[in-house]
Chain A
Amino acid sequence: MNFAYSKKKKIFDDLSLTIEGGHIYGLLGKNGAGKTTLLKLMTGLLFPQSGLTTAFGIDTKKRHVNMLEEIYFLPEEIWLPDVNVDGYLKMYANSYPRFSHELFKRCLKEFEIDPVDKLKRMSLGQRKKVAISFALATQCKILIMDEPTNGLDIPSKGQFRKLSAELIGDDRCIILSTHQVRDLESLIDTVIILDDSHILLNSTMDEICNRLEFKTLGSLENQPSVIYSEFSTRGYLAVTPNMDGADSKVDLEILFNMTTQNANLMKQLFNH
């Protein structure tokens, strides 16, 4: 599909992407790369100029009820009505056929939120926790979250990761758009990197581990296999091709910088 806000600048040019169940996707990109725009296109909030975006075989443009019941979109800036948590549940929970009140209560308990409190009187972080709890409790097949950890305190980020990981099943997927890669590094199993109106990388963490090795080196001398490196206080954070099947932990920040700076090399490495 193609999409542009104006004739001068295209946001997406012949972009093609398939999202499958059973994965937690991490959508990464620079500011203005089109992450939120892509999420809006996926949910039918924006319409592509040409091409098609579908969910469960339904054109998202049609905003069909069956589709809306299975997609939950949690934007970066959340909106909640001027009621308490129970009132919010009464208003919206019935719209989702698989909404779990037990799961919602559990999430609130984990996040230490009192359901009697008025939503408007809560802090940004507390309101975000309520919104995340609601999003998880809908048990929608596609759960899309834009910068979900923004505004969350340190313990809540861990609780969010735990609850999200528990929820994922073969028929469900979570798409997380974020700049806070460190917050979600352990949660994401597939990485999508957007840049310059194209998808530069769309690979599972396993595939990345199989092809690349992430290591810390004291010096770059006599290291001809290093394809990307960044200096840090610990030494050089380096990436080399994984020739001998070594097991290393993917550093999403390094991966992102490497991909956006060496798009052609990444295309060769991942055969895109």
Chain B
Amino acid sequence: MGIFALIIIFSNYMIFNHYMDTFNFEFWGFIIAFMTFISSANIFSSLQQTSSGIHYYMTPATITEKYAAAWIYSSFFTIIVYSITVLLVHFVCVSIGNAFTDLNQVIHLPSSEKLWMGFLGILFYHSFFILGATIFKKNPFLKTVLCIILLFMVIGAISTSILTWYMGGIEGMNSYQWDIELNDWSDFEKLDLLMFDVETLVNILKMTLISIPVILWITAYFKLKTRQI
């Protein structure tokens, strides 16, 4: 945590000409997410070695308790700890800046909506990494990242194929008007492509985005339950 705090100070705040009251949410959000994913991918690191794996499974607790502890630690705990570190450092830097310079800075925190979306985004990917932790014995983080990339490539290819088929091939796609500016979900209606209304499409997408992590978390639980040492 200390090292993490120092990195924040030296990389972002101790530069004199930097606007200290600007909180770079995207950058630090990415760092918090990255640390959470590393933590998630290595949460079952004790299973990588036979001796520690035996110790883990033989400790008297149910698999549900062990999984819940790992889940909470790798998601909520890690996110909260890293977020507090970032915010504390930001607070300290702004305070020091105000004390030693003429600048009168104020602490700008990201909006609650932004924070909530960021949190949900981290949880979505957390499910991939916790599943990777139960599947891969060595380098679970890198292997999970590769799997995610591959998965999105496959989803992209399938989606393109379906869309191409739906629109009657490449020639059919070319016949559509593509110069519509898409600012909102309702703009999709202008494309006149959908079999159903936009609201249904949004609901399907929401359900998919909710069900994917839930399925992955449940799969990770059963992988942990049935894993042999």
Tell me, in angstroms, the Cα distance from A95 to B61 when the chains sit together. Answer: 8
* Cα distance A47–B50 in the bound complex, in angstroms: 16
Contact of A68 among B49, B50, B51, B59 (CB under 8 A): B59
- Are the C-beta atoms of B54 and A79 separated by less than 8 Å? yes
Give the A-B pair count, Cβ closer than 8 A.
49
Contacts A75-B50, A75-B51, A77-B51 given: A65-B58 contact, CB under 8 Å? no
A71, B49: Cα distance in complex, Å: 21
Cβ contact within 8 Å between A45 and B57: yes
Cα distance A235–B226 in the bound complex, in angstroms: 54
- Assess the B57–A65 pair: CB atoms within 8 A: no
Digitize B67-80: 1 where CB-to-A-CB distance is under 8 Å, 0 elsewhere.
00000000000000
Say which size band chain B's interface belongs to: 10 to 19
Q: Are A65 and B61 in contact (CB under 8 A)?
A: yes
Contacts of A161 in B (CB 8 A): none
Given the complex, which residues of A lie within 8 Å of B51, measured CB to CB?
Answer: 75, 77-79
Point out which of B46, B49, B55, B63 has the most chain A C-beta atoms below 10 A from its C-beta: B55
**C-alpha spacing A96/B50, complex, angstroms:** 22
Contact between A79 and B55, CB atoms less than 8 A apart: yes
Q: Which residues of B contact A73 (CB under 8 A)?
A: 54, 58
- Report B208-229 residues with CB < 8 Å from chain A CB: 225-226, 228-229
Choose among B58, B59, B62, B63 the residue that contacts A43 (Cβ–Cβ < 8 A). Answer: B58
Bound Cα distance A95, B226 (Å): 22
Query: Cα distance A43–B50 when bound, in Å?
Result: 14
B60 within 8 A of A: yes
- Interchain CB contact under 8 A, B60 and A96: yes
Contact B229 A46 (CB under 8 A): yes
For residue B228, which residue of chain A has the nearest CB?
Answer: A46
Q: Which chain A residues border B55 with CB–CB below 8 Å? A: 79
Query: How far, in whole Å, are A69 and B60 apart by their CA atoms in the complex?
Result: 5
**Is there a chain B Cβ closer than 8 Å to A270's Cβ?**
no
26 contacts between A and B (CB under 8 A): A43-B58, A45-B53, A45-B58, A46-B228, A46-B229, A47-B226, A63-B62, A65-B60, A65-B61, A65-B62, A68-B59, A68-B60, A68-B61, A69-B60, A71-B58, A72-B58, A73-B54, A73-B58, A75-B50, A77-B50, A79-B46, A79-B51, A79-B55, A92-B59, A95-B60, A96-B60
Q: Please give 15 more A-B residue pairs, beta carbons under 8 A apart, in addition to A68-B59, A75-B50, A96-B60.
A: A40-B228, A43-B58, A44-B57, A45-B57, A63-B225, A64-B62, A65-B60, A65-B61, A68-B58, A68-B61, A72-B58, A73-B54, A77-B50, A79-B46, A95-B59
Residues of B within 8 A of A (CB): 46, 49-55, 57-63, 225-226, 228-229
